[in-house]
Every structure is written in structure tokens, then in C-alpha cells.
A and B are shown apart, each in its own frame.
Chain A
Amino acid sequence: MNSLKMTPKIVREDCLEKPDPQALRDAYGSTLVKLGEKDRNVVVLDADLSSSTRTSMFAAKFPDRFFNMGLAEQNMMGTAAGLAKGGKIPFASTFAIFASGRAWEQIRQSIAYSRLNVKIVATHGGITVGEDGPSHQTAEDLAIMRVIPGMTLIVPADAVETGQAVEAAYRHQGPVFMRLTRGKFPTVFTEDYEFQIGKGTVVNEGEDLTIFACGLMVYHALQAAKILSEKGISARVVNLSTLKPLDRELIVESAKKTRAVVTAEEHSIIGGLGSAVTEVLSTAFPVPVEMIGVKDSFGTSGQAEELLKYFELEPGDLARAGLRAVERKS
């Protein structure tokens, strides 16, 4: 057993020793089917990527409520807006770069400004998309979604949280953007975990440092906390899966408690989780912050594992950032 103080019950005790990788998008697909069974108003749209996004599972079950819009992301978002106006609860899916980038203005104008109840669940976020390279990777999506007023922005850490977040998005009234990934993530949470929109979760308790993370970086943060614990530093690890609305209270409370912060995300250090956290801390409670993320660059082809190393998003990178942050404490 490790020397961490992982939150009992909700965090898988042996998640570091026995990683159990699961695909977030599989959890999305199966949850969609569940929602489709219980509510006829759930409809799903895709843009010729349904087998990749796993909306194909819904399509197979409910062909009348599935709309493949072809390669036309802008129209897909607009159509989703119209369906929501007509009382439906549309889930629209494609890869994160196309969902957020190609259709940004449709999301802003047709969906968010009209306050329509559209759930955008984008898969293949981040750089772990891998071999397809920069055109299909995205380190910008969270930044450009976060800036839209009224948008709820969620980046689940694993498949368990994904399933719950999809259900929460369904229950939530208003637009949601959820970023999933291509690859499998080690499962962090047990079935006892309860995702709540806008609530961060302490997954490991610590005194010297807080690591705020989302997505795959939550698992890496736990691994980093283990590395740090061997050096006598105890790190609190917070899963900030809702980037908006942000759990300000938990961020400030953590900073007050540990007085040093690392942010970690599979996204540009511009505009994402790191920016969100520092926007809060710089005014509410300034402490040394180190940011782990893609450093203002496009992705590149390679295997997911190689890319995590290349972009310095590995547990060791987080741990080193932790040491720097602790060192900077006055």
C-alpha cells in the first residue's frame, strides 16, 4: 500500500497499484442508451463519427431519435438548438476540435445565447488522440468553451465519472460541453462517488501542496502525490472536473490550507483549468502556482504515452512542478 491519504470509499484504494483502464466514450455511449430508455425526449446528433464517439450505441437502439447530420458540424449545433427549443434534450457529439472549433459561433449564438438545453459531448479531446496528429488533437477547446457565458464545462477524470456526468448533464437545464478522450483512462473512482456539477472533489488529502487537475491528469496527480510523499511532501489532489462553474470555495480553501498550487491539464496552459484556478487565486488568495499543460503549441503525431512524455504531462512532471511550487513558498 502507498502512503497516500486517498479519500476513502469514493477513490479506488488500489487504483495506483492495479490500474483499471476504461474508455470514457464507452461510458458515454452506454449512459446515453440508459437515458434514451427512460426519456423519449433524449435525442442524439452526430457528424459522421458515431462509431468513434459511441453515439452509434444509441443509434442502434433508437434510430428514430438519432440524427446523423453528416460532415456538417455547424448545422449539427444549430439543429440541436432547434431540437432543444422544441422540448427535446439533444446530445450532440463529434471530436472535440470540430465541436468546439468549427462550430464555436453556433454554440455561442444558437445554443448559449438562446439558453438552449443542448449537451455537447465531445470525444477525442487533448493530445492523447495520438497518431492522427495536430489536426485532430486539441489543446484549445476548454479555453474557447469556458469563455462562453452560461456554459457548463465538464472534463471527467474516468469512466465512472463520465457516466455520472452524462446523467448530471441530462438533468441540468442549460448548455453543457463535456470533453472526453479517445484513449482509456485508469479508473480513479468507485461506484460510491457522486459527481455534482460545480463541485470539486478532494481525492487525496495533503498539507504542503494542492494539485488541481482534470481528466487524465487526476490520475497523474495521484501518481505525483505518491512520488512527492516519498520526498516527504504531502499533496492534496483535487479533481476539478467542472471547469465552469468553478468550485471557488474549494480552490481558495485548498490554497489557504497548503499555500502552494500545481494545476495540471491535458490542454494549453492558456485559458483552461490552470487559467481558471489562477483567475480565482490571484484575486482571492495569491500563492505560488506552477502550471502543467501544453505550452502554447500544436500537438504532433505519436502514441498517447509518448506524447504525454513529449508534452511533459507525466506524473514526474507534475511532481517536479510540485517541488518548485513548494520551494517558492515564502
Chain B
Amino acid sequence: MATPAQVENLRKIAKGIRINILKMLNTAGSGHTGGSLSSVEIMTSLFFSEMRYRANDPCWEGRDHFILSKGHAAPVLYATLAQAEFFAAAELSQLRKLGRSLQGHPSCVSTPGVEVSTGSLGQGLSMALGLALAVRLDQKPSRVYALCGDGEMQEGQIWEAAMAAAHYGVDNLCAIVDNNGLQIDGPVAKIMGIEPLWKKWEDFGWGVQRIDGHNLEEILDALATARQIRGRPAVIIAKTVKGKGVSFFENKVEYHGVAPSAGELKRALKELEG
């Protein structure tokens, strides 16, 4: 159990990450706002409480692994990696710029701390499964985390991976679904319904937990519980709000892939910084 002080510290980190996401997106002039903001607490919990890694040695043997399967949320990954000091925070202002390290979607060949390249939805979970199998073959204690979108659940490959991970009983694998209810063209339920999502995962043989994806205590608890699940993979379905933290971005489908303007940034920072 995290102490109140630890949770308070995480809350501060999450706020900083949110601010950096907005700033970097505004500077870049394009990128994915809504789905970055909805994942902030999940990413904060993973990188500043749950996972073991060494920022100065990103390929450290003993590390836990993270794959951003919903690669378009690159800004939240970059802001988190910068906060964790995988690279200098100043680089965040170079998002999406020619010749710089922060590609529009995560690239393991150009960014320290990014373990595999993603951006084409549906592929990250399979890679996480492969990593989990490799780790298990080597009898390492490392765990593997993959963060997926709820629209991403429509990809067939997700369910291929779900079936295979349960078949091979990889209990060092934990998937997290950012269940913000929106995708590009509208609400997930309207575009292509995925419910009952928890039941699908359960039927595929996973240990399922359902939580509030902005409640740090709940996330930390769920990650701890996932660690205890034996013989099958774990999935955490995290109910979230797309655009979380900025009132005029929240639950707005049109802010999926639009960066904040200068005026929006100003108003957003006012809301966040109080």
C-alpha cells in the first residue's frame, strides 16, 4: 500500500506530466491530446511506483518492460520518460521536428527508453507477449506492461495476442486498457461496440480488474494485485476520461488528434496550475 505522502507525490508528478504534454503538443502544433491526457495517472503509477528500471541504462537486464501499444499517445510517454530522466526535458520542445529524437509516434531507434516502435494500433500487445515469454525463458523476475486503447480493442491482432498469452499462461504480463470511451470518429460504442469488454478478457482467460484510471490508489492496488495473479496474464480495464484535466478537452472527440492552440494552452495551464 502506498502511503498518502507517496500518493501525493505521484499526484504532483502527474500534474507536471500533464502540463508538459500540453506544452509540447502546442509547440509541435500537432499530435494527440485526448488520449495522452487520459493515460497520465496510469503512466505515472507505472513509472514512478510500479516498475523497476534504470534511466541511465535503459537496456538494464533486470528492468521491467513497458510498451505503449496505443502509440499515438506518444506525448504522455515522452513526458513520462523525461520526468524519469531517460532524456533531458528540454528535448520535449522538439517533438515531431525533423532530425530530432521524438518522432510523432514512439520509435525505439531514436528515443532512449522507448523499447519497441509502435503507432500502428493492435501490435503492441503481441510484442509484450514475446517479451514476457523471453523473460520467462530466462527465469528473470521482470514484468511486462502494455498500455492499449479501447478503440484499439477492435483490432483482431489484440485478440490473437489475448488468446496466445492465456494459452502460454504468461503471468508476468499485464495489459492495461485506457477505457476512455472515445476513438477518432466518435464514441467506441457507436463506431464498433466492444462491450462487455471485461467479459471478453475473462473469457479469453485473463485475470481482469476494473478500476478508475485516474485514481492513483486504485491503479497502484490493481498493479499490485496483478502481480499476485498466477498462471495467467492480467488485464486492468481503467475507466478514464479522454482529455482528462482540462475541462474543455474532456470527453471531446474532436481533441483526439488536435494540439492545443496558444489560447487553449493558456486557459488549460490556468486550470491545471490554479
Contact = CB atoms under 8 A, between A and B. Distances in A.
Chains A and B come from one and the same complex: yes
Interface stretch (B2-10, B124-132, B226-234, B262-270): B124-132
Nearest to B125: A78
B160 interface: yes
A114 B117 contact: yes
Interface in A98-113: 105-106, 109-110, 113
Given A85-B127, A85-B131, A109 B137 contact: no
Contacts of A133: none
Interface stretch (A3-11, A30-38, A66-74, A215-223): A66-74
Contact of A81 (B127, B132, B156): B127
Interface in A46-76: 64-65, 67, 69-70, 72, 74-75
A121 interface: no
Contacts of A65: 137
Interface stretch (B18-26, B84-92, B108-116, B178-186): B108-116
Nearest to B135: A86
B117 A85 contact: no
A78 B134 contact: no
B258 interface: no
Interface residues of A, number: 30
Given A72-B164, A110-B123, A114-B117, A82 B108 contact: no
Q: How large is the interface on B (under 10, 10 to 19, 20 to 34, 35 or more residues)?
A: 20 to 34
B109 A114 contact: yes
A106 B116 CA distance: 12
B126 A109 contact: no
Given A81-B126, A110-B126, A114-B117, A72 B138 contact: no
Contacts of B124: 78
Nearest to B144: A82
Contacts of B126: 74-75, 77-79, 81-82, 106, 110
B107 interface: yes
Do most interface residues of chain B lie in helix, strand or loop, or is the interface mixed? Answer: helix
B123 to A, nearest CB: 5
B60 interface: no
Nearest to B115: A85
A44 to B, nearest CB: 12
B123 A109 contact: yes
Nearest to B61: A87
B134 A88 contact: yes
Nearest to A71: B160
Given A75-B157, A109-B120, A81 B138 contact: no
Contact of A78 (B65, B129, B137): B129
Contacts of A69: 160, 164
Contact of A85 (B107, B116, B137, B168): B116
B187 interface: no
Interface in A103-152: 105-106, 109-110, 113-116
A171 B137 CA distance: 21
Nearest to A90: B130
A6 to B, nearest CB: 44
A208 B129 CA distance: 55
A151 B158 CA distance: 25
Contact of B137 (A64, A72, A116): A64
B117 A84 contact: no
B211 interface: no
B119 interface: yes
B28 interface: no
A38 B65 CA distance: 28
Interface of B: 65, 107-109, 115-120, 122-135, 137-138, 156-157, 160-161, 163-164, 167-168
Given A79-B126, A110-B123, 14 more contacts: A43-B133, A67-B168, A74-B123, A78-B123, A79-B127, A79-B130, A82-B127, A82-B130, A84-B130, A86-B134, A86-B137, A105-B123, A109-B117, A114-B117
23 contacts: A43-B133, A43-B134, A64-B137, A67-B168, A74-B156, A75-B157, A75-B160, A81-B127, A82-B126, A82-B128, A82-B134, A83-B134, A85-B131, A86-B133, A86-B135, A106-B123, A106-B126, A109-B123, A110-B123, A113-B107, A114-B109, A114-B117, A116-B116
